[in-house]
Amino acid sequence: MTGDPHKTVLDALEAKGRLRTLAPRAGRDFTSNDFLALGESRVLRDAARDALERGVPIGAGGSRLLRGNHPEHEALEDEAASFFGSEAALYFPTGFAANAALVATLPREGDLIVYDALIHASIRDGLDPARISAISVPHNDVTAMEDVIRQWRGQGGGGRVWISVETLYSMDGDRAPLDDLVVLASRHEAMLLLDEAHATGVYGDQGRGLGADYEGAPNIISLHTCGKGLGASGALVCLPRLYRDFIVNRGRAFIYSTAPSPLMAAVVRVALKVCAGAEQERAQLQALARQADDLMKKLGLPPSGSQIVPVILGADTRAVALANALQARGHDIRAIRPPTVPEGTARLRLALTLHVTPDDLDTLFADLAAEMARA
């Protein structure tokens, strides 16, 4: 037998500058998604302690359809539906599981999914091309989406159309054209799936996301992750009750998974209340984003207009070398390489959180300018 094929793959990744390793957190946080710095906050620690003291268990002990369904899950789902303005909500252990479950369960045979080319991997992994048609379109190109839908209808497509986008894209930091997408979905009687992962807690009235004005419409399904702006873990799918009940009955990722921790559900309930009143924190984060935009322009780089700031470098090895240099200067920054991003667009992904100060941001960009000049 020749060499192990797994080692061959890892060796090839290393040669391309794409080998991934697990590294501990160190230095100033420019890489996490804990945008409002709630993950280590006293208020969420107190929420966990209080829940334990009133007897909320750490583990669920089974799936939701067995003994794993806890009152904390149901209370969270009721409060989330009220907070986000949807008819119902369903709590998943991760955003990945929730997204994959949505597209694997709700579209029926003969339907069409049209998704943005930069959509998260969790959507792609849930697609079943043997059962439904799934077509990628260029990023933020609503005209291209409509062309695909019209062509599919013209070729006899008679099912329902499902449109899948992120409201704020995780690697580019730009927004989806939501107004146009809502009009498109209405025109074609389509369902619109909004992944609010990087917008929840940061944008919208009370931090309800960029799609807050549309939440609750019968053709809107939104995903709100709890492990980013909300500082906890898990994900809330907000949707019409009909589709919630369908997932409970047919969603394999929901049916056959141990339920999320009831303790974490209790913590998320508090996180939603904190989020509702975090206007000052959101204003601080937006100020950091504006500062980053100005600093990017001074380097001759395009601003993102959000708390996610990509510094696109192109070559994988250059991104890794620059990340390493900045880490040595005390900044926790990671290189993002294909297949997470398209070929030729390896980058540093700067994530702005309230773990850093305006002075930290100035220092980072001074060091970034110095290292880019050396490269």
Are the beta carbons of 127 and 246 closer than 8 angstroms? no
Cα gap 283→210, rounded to integer Å: 15
| 3-class SS of residue 88 | strand
Half-sphere exposure of 259 (CA within 13 A, CB side): 26
7 catalytic per annotation: no
140 is catalytic: no
Q: Which residue is catalytic, options 72, 174, 195, 215?
A: 195
- Of 29, 111, 166, 316, the catalytic one is 166
The 3-state DSSP composition of the chain as helix, strand, coil percent (nearest 5) reads 40, 15, 40
Residue 362 a catalytic site member: no
Q: Which of 70, 224, 228, 331 is catalytic?
A: 228
One-letter amino acid identity for 40? E
Active-site residue flag, 87: no
> 258 CB contacts (<8 Å, ≥6 apart)?
59, 60, 61, 62, 63, 68, 93
- Does the annotation count 331 as an active-site position? no
Residue among 198, 224, 331, 355 flagged as catalytic: 198
11: Cβ contacts below 8 Å, ≥ 6 apart: none
Q: Which helix (H) or strand (E) holds 163?
A: strand 161-166
The active-site residue, picked from 122, 164, 170, 219, is 170
Tell me whether residue 120 is one of the annotated catalytic residues. yes
The catalytically annotated residue of 33, 222, 233, 304 is 33
Catalytic residue among 120, 188, 331, 355: 120
Catalytic site residue 6?
Answer: no
From the number of C-beta atoms within 10 Å of its C-beta (0-12, 13-18, 19+), residue 102 rates as buried
Q: Which residues are catalytic?
A: 33, 120, 166, 170, 195, 198, 228
